[in-house]
Amino acid sequence: MRETLTRLRYRYWPDHLLGEILSKRWTETAIPVILLLIVGFALSRSLEHFLSPASLADTARQAGEIGFIGLGMALVVIVGGIDLSVGSIFALSDFCALYLLDVLNWPVPAVVVVTMIVGGLLGAVNGVLIGYLRLRAFITTLITLIIYRSAYDLLIQRYSNAIASAFPDIPSWDFIGGGTVLGIPSVALVYIVIAIFGHIFLTRLRPGWHITAIGGSRRSAYNSGIPVRRTIALCYVASGVLTSIGALFFAARLGTVGGDIGVGLEVIVLTATVLGGITLGGGKGSVVKSMVGVLIVLLVTNGLTAMNARGGVNRMALASILLVAAMVDIRWQKNRTRIISKVYVAPTYHALPPPPPTEIGKGGPFEQNDRLRDVSLIGLGRIEAPEDVILDRNDVLYAGSRHGDIVRFFPPDYERMEVFAHIGGQPLGMAFDKEDNLYVCIGGMGLYRIKPDGTVEKATDETNRSIYSVNDDSRLRLADDLDITDDGLIFFSEATVRYEMDEWPVDGLEARGNGRIICYDTKTGTTHTALRGLKFPNGVAVASDGQSILFAETFGCSIKRYWFAGPKKGAVEIVMDNLPGYPDNINLASDGNYWLALVGMRSPSLDLAWKMPGFRRRMAKRVPVDEWLFPNINTGCVVKFNEQGKILESFWDLKGLNHPMITSMREHRGYLYLGGIANNRIGRFKLDNADPNFVQYDKRWGKSS
C-alpha cells in the first residue's frame, strides 16, 4: 500500500522540474513579477476602481513617463554606474519643452526634437565626466543633480508666469499628453515600442553586449578591446534622452513648471530599478526587470494614495518593499548555485524484482566462471578509458581515449599504436558505415564522423527540442552508443539529458527515464528524437530483421527492441529485463546472436535504495558527493544472448586481475576484444567454436571490393 503510494507519487509528481526551473536565468525576473502580481491582486481587491479603464489608463500614463527614466537608469546601472541627476534633467527638459512651446511658440516637432537634444546634452555632461574623465558616477551625478536643479530654479523664477499664462491649443501636443490609440495611451505605446527595442538592443545587439560586459567587469571589457569610455558616456547620454522623453509626455499632460517637479524622482526610479532586480554595480539587468520595478513602485504609491494613506505610510511601504526586495535579491544571488545543487538531484521510485543468481553453484546462465582469466592485453598503460573498441576490415583495432583521441593498433600483434584522429571530448560508442567512415559518439559533443584518411567532421550535435522540457534538450549532452542501419540511418543513444558527461553516475542515483534514442539520417543530414524517457539508454545494435534495433537501458537493467520500420513500426518490446547487472554495449556475434557487456553488477543496497526515493534525496542533500551511494561499476561480465531474450553463456574474470570492468566487446576473426571505460588496457580473448573468418562489417555490408 505504502509502496504503491510512493510509486504513484514519484510517477506523477515532477520532482526534477524544480531544479531545472531554478537553474534557468529567467527565474530571477520571476520574483519581481510575482511580487507585481501580488501587489496588483491586493490592490484590485481593496480598491473599487482600480481595474476601471480610466484608472488603468492613468496608471499607464504615469508608468510610461517614469518607465522611460527607469529604462535610462537601468542602462546606466547595468554599465556599472548610477544616475542621480535624472530628477533634475526631468525638470529641465520639462521646462525646455514648455518654454519652447509656450513662450517661443515653436512647432511641436521642433519642440520634441530640441527637448530630446537638451536631455541628451545634459546626460552627455555626466557621460563625459564619468566615461572619459573617469569620475565617480555617484558623486558626479550628485553634483550635476544640484547644478541642474539650481539652474531649473533660476529659470522658473523668470519664466514660470509666462508659461503658466499660456494655454496652447495644438492637437498634436494634446495627443502626446492625453491621446490614445485603440484605448492605449500614447505614452504607453511609445514606451512599449522603445522597451521592445531596448530588449533586443541589450540581448541581441553588439553594443548591448558591450554594455553588459563593461558592467560585469570594466577591466576585462577594456582588455578585450571594447570602447569602454565611449560606451559608458553614451549610456549617460541615452539616460538623458530617455528622461527627456518622459519629461515631454509629462509636459504635454500637465503643462506646469512647479518648483517640486522631479524632486526625489531619482529615489523612486532607483527603488524601481533595484526592485526589478537590476543588480547595483552592473553587469546584470534587463528591460523587463526595469518595467516590472516601475510598475510595482507606481502601483504601491498610487494604491496607497487612493486609500488615503498619509504620505508617511506611503514612504514606509516603499522603503519596506525596497528592503525586502534587495535582501531577497542578494540572498538569492549569493546562494543560487548552492540551492540549485541541493535541489537538482531528484531521485524517483524504481523497483526491480530480485535479480537472477550469479553465485557459483546456483546454476543458471549467469553462473560465475573464470573464463576471462586468459585474456591477453593490448596497449596496457598506453591507453586510457577505451569505452568502445572496434576493428575495421583490415583488422586494425580502434579505441577511444579519455584525452579526446581515437587511437588505433595495427595487426598482427597490436603493439604498434598511433593516434588516428583527435576530436576532443570523450569518445564512446563507435561504428563503421558502408564507406568505412567511422562514426563516434562523443560525450558532451555529439555524433562525429571520421573519414578513412583521418579527417574529423561533425555529423550532428542537436536534435529537436521537446516542447514540455524545461531544460533545453536540443543539444546532445551525452551521446553514448550507436549503430547504422542498411539504409544509412544512425540510431544512437543519449544516456541522459539532465547531466553532463562528468556526472553521469548521478543519473543512476536518480533512476529516472532521462535518456533517449535519437536518429540521424546520413542521407538528409537531419536528426530527430525517436524515443524518450529511457533509463540511461546505452548500447545499440541493429537487429537481424533490419527493421528494428536492440538497445540496452543501463539503469533499467533491461534490453528492449524498437521497430523503426516495417509492420511493427514504432513498437517497443522488452527483450530481457531484470538483468543481474547494468547492461552496456551490444554487438553482433558471429553466430547471429549478440554480445552484451554488463558494466557492473546490481547490489542489494542500491536495489533497496531505488525503492526509497526519499532516502536518496536526503542523501543527495546532506552527504558530500563522494559518499553517495552510486551503482557499482567495478566488476562485470560479458554475456551472449539471442533475439528471443535467452542468455546463452557468460564470461567472467573472478579475480579481477586482467579485465575487471567491461563496457564493450567486439568479436573479430575468432577473438573477442574487450573495452572498459575505467581501464588502461584492451582485452583480447580467444573464443572457442567461433567463426575464425567473422568480420562484422564484411557480414553487415558485404565484402569490400
Partner 1 sequence: MKRVRISQQEIVFAVFAALFLSFSIFLNGFLSADNMLTLLQNVAVLGILGLAMAIVVIGRGIDLSLIAALAVPGGLVLQMVQNGHSLPASLLAAGLLSIAVGLVNGWLIAYAEVPPLFATLATGLFVAGLGQAALFQLDVVQWSDGMAGFERLGQGSILGIPTSIVMFAIACVVVFILLRKTRWGAYIYAIGDNPFAARVTGIPTRPIIVLQYVLAGLIGCFAGLVMAASVNSMPTRIFNSTLIYDVILVVVLGGIGLSGGRGGVVNVIIGTLLIGTMLNGMTILNIPYAGQNLIKGLVLLIAVITDTFLNPRNEETAQQGDI
Point out which residues bind partner 1 (CB under 8 A).
Answer: 80-82, 129, 133-140, 142-147, 149-151, 153-154, 157, 217-219, 222, 263-264, 267, 270-271, 274, 280-282, 309-320, 322-323, 326-327, 330-331, 334
Nearest distance, CB of residue 280 and partner 1, angstroms? 5
CB of 294 to partner 1, least distance (A): 17
Which of 78, 97, 115, 111 lies closest to 236, judged by CA?
A: 78
Closest separation in Å from C-beta 110 to partner 1: 28
3-state secondary structure of 554: coil
For the record, the C-alpha cell of 318 comes out as 516603499
List of E strands, 364-422: 376-378, 389-391, 397-400, 405-409, 417-422
Give the residue with the Cβ less far from partner 1, 85 or 554.
85
Sheet bearing 426-432, strands edge to edge: 426-432, 438-443, 446-450, 456-460
The grid coordinates of residue 499 equal 547531466
Supply the minimum distance, in Å, between the C-beta of residue 102 and partner 1.
Answer: 21
Tell me which residue of 660, 489, 691 sits closest to 589, measured CA to CA.
691
269 vs 442, beta carbon nearer partner 1: 269
CB of 98 to partner 1, least distance (A): 18
From the CB of 310, what's the least distance to partner 1, in Å? Answer: 5
Find cell 521537446 and name the residue: 466
| Residue number with CB closer to partner 1 (327 or 625) | 327
Q: Rounded to the nearest whole angstrom, what is the least distance from the CB of residue 100 to partner 1 in the complex?
A: 21
Nearer to partner 1, 264 or 624 (CB): 264
Q: What is the DSSP string of 263-277?
A: TTHHHHHHHHHHHHT
Residue 348: partners with Cβ closer than 8 Å, 6 or more residues away: 10, 11, 15, 16, 510, 511, 512, 613
Provide the grid cell at 320. Answer: 519596506
Taking the C-alpha atoms of residue 687 and residue 196, their distance in angstroms, rounded to an integer, is 69
Q: Give CA separation, 106 vs 69, 114, 248, in Å.
A: 25, 10, 14
3-state percent breakdown (helix, strand, coil) of the chain, nearest 5: 45, 20, 35
Nearer residue to partner 1 within complex by CB, 60 or 84: 84
Closer CB to partner 1, residue 160 or residue 658?
Answer: 160
Residues 324-342: b if buried by 16+ CB within 10 A, e if exposed:
ebeeebeeeeeeeeebbee
Cα–Cα distance measured from residue 505 to residue 329, given in angstroms and rounded to the nearest whole number: 33
Q: Which is nearer to partner 1, 222 or 563 (CB)?
A: 222
DSSP 492-508: EEE--SSS-GGGHHHHH
Q: Which is nearer to partner 1, 300 or 441 (CB)?
A: 300
CB of 269 to partner 1, least distance (A): 12
Closer residue to partner 1, CB minimum distance, 305 or 320: 320
Q: CB of 133: closest distance to partner 1 in angstroms?
A: 5
